């Protein structure tokens, strides 16, 4: 049965200037390197709406957009990153992201197909002493609201199984990387990709769990 993330929230998420007080808001990360950071334009508004509908926790109607050199970066404890191509961060941007994550921020990177190589290289630059570790099906992220068997497979891509990875810092999950899954595509309007209803529902449940985990992890 679904849990109740409204109880025991670890901290409120920051609000964008266009979000009302007390509304949860996520921020989409705009990055360089040529990748389409702006992909899946309907996925995040849909995610925020379904999170509110299912948990009762109010969210802003759409995501903010932020760069790593923005003064507003630390207003958003949740960053979402996706795309099909290359990501490239400058040394200054890497340092800003490291400070953000070490100060309590969270990054969900959802590979939309084509992001994998450059994102893994970015993580290696970001935290040379850490690496992306597999998140097995027993990880509490998969069970914090919906009880899920693991990361769902939304699109086939190369046929590899969907895998979740994470970076831990100080006992806290600071980066979630979802690979060969494409949750963002499953959150888009139904007519965009034509995904079956059960696939869209699996993506929705996973997305609810991700935000719930961010709000409640120790």
Read off the pLDDT of each residue in 20-32 and give the average, rounded to a whole number. Answer: 89
CA distance 176 to 56: 24
Token pair, residue 142, equals 């998969």
Could you tell me if 176 and 162 are in contact, meaning their C-beta atoms sit under 8 angstroms apart? no
Q: Residue 83, SS3?
A: strand
CA distance 41 to 185: 10
Read off the pLDDT of each residue in 114-119 and give the average, rounded to a whole number. Answer: 94
CATH topology for 27-216 is Rossmann fold (3.40.50)
Band (14; pLDDT cuts 50, 70, 90): very low
Across 12-26, 46-60, 79-93, least confident range: 12-26
Read off the pLDDT of each residue in 160-179 and give the average, rounded to a whole number. Answer: 96
Number of H helices, E strands in the chain: 6, 7
pLDDT of residue 160: 87
CA distance 180 to 152: 9
CA distance 140 to 76: 23
Asked if pLDDT for residue 165 goes beyond 50, the answer is: yes
Token pair, residue 164, equals 């979740």
Asked if pLDDT for residue 17 goes beyond 80, the answer is: no
Sheet order of strands, 172-179 included: 64-66, 27-29, 78-83, 106-111, 172-179, 163-169, 133-134
Asked if pLDDT for residue 32 goes beyond 80, the answer is: yes
CA distance 44 to 47: 5
DSSP 44-64: HHHHHHHHHHHH---B-SS-E
Average pLDDT, the chain: 90
pLDDT of residue 4: 56
pLDDT of residue 47: 98
């Amino acid at each position: 049965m679904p849990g109740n993330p409204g109880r025991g929230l670890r901290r409120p998420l920051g609000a964008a200037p266009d979000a009302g007080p007390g509304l949860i808001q996520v921020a989409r990360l705009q990055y360089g390197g040529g990748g389409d950071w702006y992909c899946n334009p309907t996925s995040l508004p849909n995610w925020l709406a379904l999170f509110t509908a299912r948990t009762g926790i109010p969210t802003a109607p759409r995501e903010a957009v932020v760069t790593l050199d923005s003064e507003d970066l630390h207003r958003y404890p949740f960053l979402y990153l996706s795309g099909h191509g290359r990501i490239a961060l400058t040394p200054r941007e890497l340092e800003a992201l490291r400070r953000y994550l070490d100060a309590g921020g969270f990054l969900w990177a959802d590979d939309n197909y084509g992001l994998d190589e450059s994102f893994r290289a970015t993580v290696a630059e970001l935290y040379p002493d850490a690496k992306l570790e597999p998140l097995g099906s027993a990880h509490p992220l998969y069970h914090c609201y919906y009880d899920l068997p693991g990361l769902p497979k939304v699109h086939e891509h190369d046929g590899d199984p969907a895998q979740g990875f994470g970076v831990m810092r100080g006992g806290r999950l600071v980066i979630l990387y979802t690979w060969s899954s494409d949750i963002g595509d499953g959150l888009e309007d139904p007519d965009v990709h034509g995904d079956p209803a059960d696939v869209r529902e699996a993506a929705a449940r996973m997305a609810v769990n991700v935000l719930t985990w961010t709000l409640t992890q120790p």
